[in-house]
Amino acid sequence: MGEIKTKAKGPDTPEKFRLDPEVIKADFPILNRIIGDNRLVYLDNAATTQKPESVILALDDYYCKMNSNVHRGLHTLAEESTAAFEETRKKIAAFIGGVRTEEVIYTRNATEAINLVAYSWGRKNIKKGDRIVLTEMEHHANLVPWIALARETGAELKYISINENYRLDLSEIDKIITDNTRLVSITHMSNVLGTVNPVEEIGRAAHRNGALFVVDGAQSAPHMSVDVKAVDADFYAFSAHKMLGPTGIGILYGKESILERMEPFIYGGEMISEVRYDFASWNDLPWKFEAGTPNIAGAVSFSPALDYLSTLGMDNIRDHEVELTAYTIARLSELKSVKIIGPSDTDMRGGAISFVDKDIHPHDLATFLDSRGIAVRAGHHCAQPLMKRLGLTATTRASVYVYNTTEDIDKLIEALKEARRYFCDE
């Protein structure tokens, strides 16, 4: 990995150091791409991150050297493929706080992980009159499955609101999370606002009332140290592609005691123990929830992404992003036409920074920025209810990661000024 050096404080614990994003950039081939006449400035990391060369080579290496199905063959390729597939599961278990591998389930993405909980746990345990508690800042992935479940079962949906500082209003949490609450499901970090939510506090409120606690970690797992045991999440969902890994691989962590009582989500091969013409029984955890041929290549190539993040150190990644987010907010605040949609306090927010220009539609702005080689996101960001709550139809979003620099942000600001000249004749 470039020239990055760390000193171990303990097993797999990198020394605190300042990231050098220019060194890191060299590990990402796509960042050399020229868009128009400009070198790519990639600021759409909340949607998906770019991949280091080690991940790309691992994907190629898998197909060139060990392509085979897992858990089913006795030949060399099958044994090597299975070992690599399960080795990644061990790394994931360590990465999220040292949980048991039986508690780590492969899915396609965080969306499927949340759906697994909704279908397998929710349909059995949620009934008419029960309450499901969400927040006003949820991504559709953590809204629609629960809306569908409430519609099907007659359960009540209740939302924790956001305040004027774009944070959750917890002043009446004991009136929202009550003894008839069966499930609380919240985002750890908003993909629109960047807000980092107090998941430990909300989890305690859920458990005081006997509710299941689900955390959407799609935006947090890539950007900060996550210990699911410290959070005391019953379920925690995230995606590989937002943390330098390939697309098509998601993770659901679930407490073993809960997973054991759940029925499978999808039925078929691999997830069975015994099948007769009139009977079927299920495999052990975690394979009970992994029917059919999985994305083996994706799982195997996620391994070097985890290695890359672990070598950098998640605390170091967080420090870099806090610093760069503060810089971005300060530079955007220089533009009188721009309003930032999210907290200004960078200690309790992530690097997804949404903003609006009072005169330029976000789609027009994103298209203009693309013409300058700058990739951002524009739209409702799969959070339509939040947009309506804020009185907006869309925002432009710049989101940073380990390879972004202050120079990237300076180019964004200059392009935004140029857009004003182009659209507003300033």
Distance between CA atoms of 280 and 275, rounded to whole angstroms?
A: 4
Average pLDDT value for residue range 219-229 = 98
Per residue, the 3-state secondary structure of 110-176, as one string, reads HHHHHHHHHHHHHHHHCCCCCEEEEECCCCHHHCHHHHHHHHHHCCEEEEECECCCCCECCCCHHHH
Domain match, 37 and 63 both:
no
Q: Are strands 377-379 and 395-399 parallel, antiparallel or unpaired?
A: antiparallel
What is the pLDDT, as a whole number, of residue 61? 97
Domain match, 13 and 34 both:
yes
pTM to 2 decimal places:
0.95
Where a domain ends, among 309, 328, 359?
A: 309
Where a domain ends, among 257, 281, 309?
A: 309
In a domain, residue 425? The reply is no
Dihedral angle of Cα 283, 289, 291, 293, to the nearest 10 degrees: -110
Please determine, for residue 4, whether its predicted confidence score (pLDDT) is greater than 50: no
Give the domain CATH number at 242. 3.40.640.10
Average pLDDT value for residue range 225-251 = 98
Domain match, 94 and 188 both:
yes
Task: Domain of residue 222: give its range.
Answer: 57-309
Q: Which helix (H) or strand (E) holds 320?
A: helix 314-332
Output 219 or 5, whichever has higher pLDDT.
219
What is the pLDDT, as a whole number, of residue 112? 98
Average pLDDT value for residue range 253-275 = 96
Which of the four pLDDT bands, split at 50, 70 and 90, describes residue 346? confident
In a domain, residue 147? The reply is yes
- Number of folded domains that form the chain: 2
Q: How high is the mean pLDDT of the chain? A: 95
Please determine, for residue 13, whether its predicted confidence score (pLDDT) is greater than 80: no
Where a domain ends, among 246, 277, 309?
A: 309
Rounded to 5°, the CA angle 233-236-241 comes to 155
Residue 2: both structure tokens together: 């470039």
Which of the four pLDDT bands, split at 50, 70 and 90, describes residue 419? very high
User: Based on the number of CB atoms within 10 Å of its own CB, is 158 exposed (0-12), middle (13-18) or buried (19 or more)?
Assistant: middle
In a domain, residue 1? The reply is no
Q: Are strands 41-42 and 374-375 parallel, antiparallel or unpaired?
A: parallel
Domain match, 130 and 194 both:
yes
Is there a contact between 124 and 259 (Cβ–Cβ < 8 Å)?
Answer: no
In a domain, residue 74? The reply is yes
Average pLDDT value for residue range 215-237 = 98
Question: For 146, how many CA atoms within 13 A lie in the half-sphere containing its CB?
Answer: 24
Domain match, 199 and 318 both:
no
Per-residue pLDDT reduced to its tens digit, 69-93: 999 889 999 999 999 999 999 999 9
Residue from 170, 272, 326, 382 carrying the catalytic annotation: 382
Domain match, 281 and 342 both:
no
Average pLDDT value for residue range 330-348 = 94
Output 3 or 200, whichever has higher pLDDT.
200
The pLDDT > 70 percentage for the chain reads 97
Per-residue pLDDT reduced to its tens digit, 111-138: 999 999 999 999 999 999 999 999 999 9
Residues ≥6 apart with Cβ < 8 Å to 124:
262, 263
In a domain, residue 15? The reply is yes
Domain match, 163 and 301 both:
yes
Peptide bond into 286 cis (omega under 30): yes
What is the pLDDT, as a whole number, of residue 11? 38
Is 64 labeled as catalytic in the residue annotation? no
Distance between CA atoms of 319 and 314, rounded to whole angstroms?
A: 9
Per-residue pLDDT reduced to its tens digit, 267-318: 999 999 999 999 999 999 999 999 999 999 999 999 999 999 999 999 999 9
Please determine, for residue 36, whether its predicted confidence score (pLDDT) is greater than 80: yes
What is the pLDDT, as a whole number, of residue 187? 98
What is the pLDDT, as a whole number, of residue 215? 98
What is the pLDDT, as a whole number, of residue 426? 76
In degrees rounded to 5, what are phi and psi of residue 233?
A: -75, 135
Give the domain CATH number at 31. 3.90.1150.10
Q: Are strands 41-42 and 131-135 parallel, antiparallel or unpaired?
A: unpaired
